[in-house]
Structure 1
Amino acid sequence: MNKKHIFVVGLMSGTSLDGVDLAYVKFQENNYSDFEILFAETIPYSKEWKQLLQNAIQFSEKQLEELDITYGQFLGKIVNNFISNYKIDQVDFIASHGHTILHQPAKGITLQVGNGAQIAKITQQKVVCDFRTQDVKLGGQGAPLVPIGDELLFSEYDYCINLGGFANISFKKEGQRIAYDICPVNIVLNAYVNKLGLDYDDAGKIAGSGSVNHQLLEKLNALPFYENLPPKSLGLEWVKKEVFPLIDTYEKDVSNILSTFVAHVAYQIGGIIKNSKAVLFTGGGVFNTFLIREIEKNANIKITLKSTLLINYKEALIFAFLGLLRVDNQINCLQSVTGARKNHSSGVIFTP
């Protein structure tokens, strides 16, 4: 490794299936909080990949094994193109989250596809991946993983919130880092906007044109998950079982569904961060202006947005950082966050 700086490519694919986020990050060796995202890009999924990843929850074990390999090959090629396009000449390793297909920590199950051996073979680089499995084996939720990055890279904020497929939060309480999934966001909003032939609700305009269905809003806010104490995490399976049937029972109009669900998200987030002066918001949901305004109202705060680079690529940055901690055999999974039996250094390392 370079003596002064460490150069990492971080890869992230979120539940909202926007695409694969890549971030090329420079860390100072003796002070990780001195970092810079040098290059970053999102490679959108083709229609075929999107359908494949959406439907993989129904795949057989053999089909999942095949998907793990082909998706790993796909990631390897994307990284090679990224390195070539940006003329990157130094990579110490690649850190890849993969794509979550199944997440049922209560049953001891979590599955992220994106075979590390394939990525290493195609890129001829060291690869760190599979960050969640060890935590689940240690009795943890295997999620969220980003809070160690919030702790060590963004400690000046009272709360760090990511608005992606799900909203998750991280904060310090009584000397311990607490983090959990708050509620679904884009995984639901995008599913209903897709019915209109759109990928997403641009700036929340469609949601802003709808009306809140108060009966549905009440039912959503009464879901038992919201009564659970952290550590707790959400997955697509829960949304399919608990959220979609509820929405489809009470409302048919897409603009009303979006408006109501935004009200639900704003209520859930606003109640946690009420009156706070230092909240870092990142993730694709930040560009939903209507959602941000509703959160501001519910939380009684003014949200100041950071650079687009950080908003879009914070998770890819932090997976690069998780990989760095793993390579150095330092703790990257916090017991206080996931509920595992102990703090630990998670991730599997592959060499070409």
Structure 2
Amino acid sequence: MSGTSLDGLDLAYCHIWQKKEAWQFEIKETKSIKYSSDMMNTLKNAIDLSAEKLLELHNTYGTWLGEQVLNFVNENLLQVDYIASHGHTTHHRPEMGLTFQVGSGQHLANACGIKVICDFRTNDLALGGQGAPLVPIGDRIFFSQYEFCLNLGGISNVSFEVKDKRIAYDIGLANMILNYITRKVDLEYDEDGNLARRGQLNHTMLEKLNNLKYYLLPHPKSIGYEWFLEEVVPIVEETEDTLENLLHTSVHHICDKVAQQIELNFKTKNQQLLVTGGGALNSFLIETLQEKLGETTKVVVPEKIIIEFKEALVFALMGVLRIEQLTNVLSSVTGAKKDSSSGVLFIPN
């Protein structure tokens, strides 16, 4: 799994099985590989590549993924049935019926010698859906004890049940804006939210962020890096303020929008909100979110392995469901014409 926050590649070796028709999981081994500055810049700027150069990156990145998998397998002496790979999203324009994740499945399979399931999003777009978010199938199957599941990666997204249907959508910003600001001073991220905690609210910036048109759209809806570049970066760039204040304001914006959606979809007194993704490790963000939600909703931060590897786990589950020809993409989430069993299988040569 490689996410929009561009912090690196997550590898998870998972055992997934059924017991009395209920799916069970164990994350047995994990590894995170930080991107070099060159790799990070290449992926970040892939949106501007020509078609020819983008396809070249698709192949070379696929080979690189396969090499990382092979190292991981050899380091841990793993026996692997297959790889379920998300790749890295470079383009996401669902309104144009377009999404693209670099990381060629065939190159990946050939580099590691293991069969690969990837390209989990395209089929849903072909069925008229958003191709996102995909993680809610895992929320339903593995984490149904929580009323809400919130992921704070580059983007914030939420999933929950409404009348036996899973609903999910991208709420808006999360680490994408925080990391954009810290990278101005060559910091990968604001550890524990310490810089943001020292800042003060910039009311003008907060108002501009809160008034972004995306927030008025009904779900199903999703956003990508293009939206961030076009709509959010100009607001950050035109705000003259300290780094601490920019971060502090961004955290409040993230939490305002999350709290707004949880309150709109209120379930029950003492409801629980499971928070995963890198943002769950930002204690200032979590404290601010709990403050805004008040006593009706308890913010639950799980063990670190779930925080960091939940998305990788869910793509492993999606691979299992694809092999078993069971639904792994929910139309109630994406807006597609029907549920689907998505993903393309590549056999190594």
Indicate the TM-score class for this superposition, using the shorter chain for normalisation.
over 0.9
Q: Is the 8 A contact 1:216 1:251 kept in 2?
A: no
2:313 alignment partner, one of 310, 317, 324: 317
1:144 to 133, 138, 142: 133
1:231 aligned onto 2:220:
yes
Helix, strand or coil for the counterpart of 2:178? helix
Query: Deviations 1:168-192 (Å, cap 9, x if unpaired)?
Result: 1000012210000011111110011
Q: Map 1:111-130; keep pairs closer than 5 Å.
A: 111-130=100-119
TM-score (norm: length of structure 2): 0.95
State the AA in 2 paired with 1:99: H
Amino acid in structure 2 at the alignment position of 1:327: I
Partner of 2:328: 332
How many Å separate the matches in 2 of 1:136 and 1:73?
26
- For 1:334 and 1:308, the matched residues in 2 are separated by 27
Give the equivalent residue in structure 2 for 1:252: 241
Q: How does 1:249-288 map to 2 (within 5 A)?
A: 249-274=238-263, 277-288=271-282
> Which residue of structure 2 aligns with residue 135 of structure 1?
124
SS at 1:162 equivalent: strand
- Tell me how far apart the structure 1 counterparts of residues 238 and 39 of structure 2 sit (CA, whole Å): 30
- 2:96 and 2:298 map into 1 onto residues whose CA distance is 40
TM-score (norm 1): 0.94
Distance in 1 (alpha carbons) for counterparts of 2:277 and 2:150: 8
In the alignment, residue 167 of structure 2 is paired with which amino acid? I
Is 1:349 matched up with 2:338? no
Percent identity over the alignment is: 47
Q: Which runs of 5+ in 1 are unaligned?
A: 1-11
CA RMSD of aligned residues (A): 1.2
The residue aligned with 2:266 is: none
Distance 2:302 2:246 in 1: 29
Q: 1:210-260 CA distances to partner (integer Å, 9 max, x unpaired)?
A: 111112111211111111111000101101111111222233322111111
- Verify the 8 A CA contact 2:272 2:298 in the aligned structure 1: no
The C-alpha deviation readout for 1:54-102, integer Å capped at 9, x for no partner, is: 11100000001100000000000000010111111x2111000000000
Match of 2:65 in 1: 75
Aligned to 1:35: 25
Q: Which runs of 5+ in 2 are unaligned?
A: 264-268
CA contact (8 A) 2:270 2:298 kept: no
Q: Within 1, Cα distance between the matches of 2:239 and 2:154?
A: 22
Note the alpha carbon deviations across 1:196-219, whole angstroms, 9 max, x for none: 111100111111111111121112
Q: Describe the superposition over 1:6-29 as per-residue Cα deviations: whole angstroms up to 9, x where unpaired.
A: xxxxxx000011110000000124
1:47 is matched by which residue type in structure 2?
S
Deviation, 1:122, is 1.4
Match of 2:290 in 1: 296
Q: CA deviation at 1:283?
A: 0.5
Moved more, 15-24 or 30-39: 30-39
Match of 1:86 in 2: 76
Supply the distance in 1 between the matched residues of 2:192 and 2:298 (Cα, whole angstroms).
18
1:291-342 per-position Cα deviation (integer Å, ceiling 9, x unaligned): 0011001111442321110010000000000011111111111111001111
How many pairs does the alignment contain? 340
Residue 22 of structure 2 is aligned to residue 26 of structure 1: no
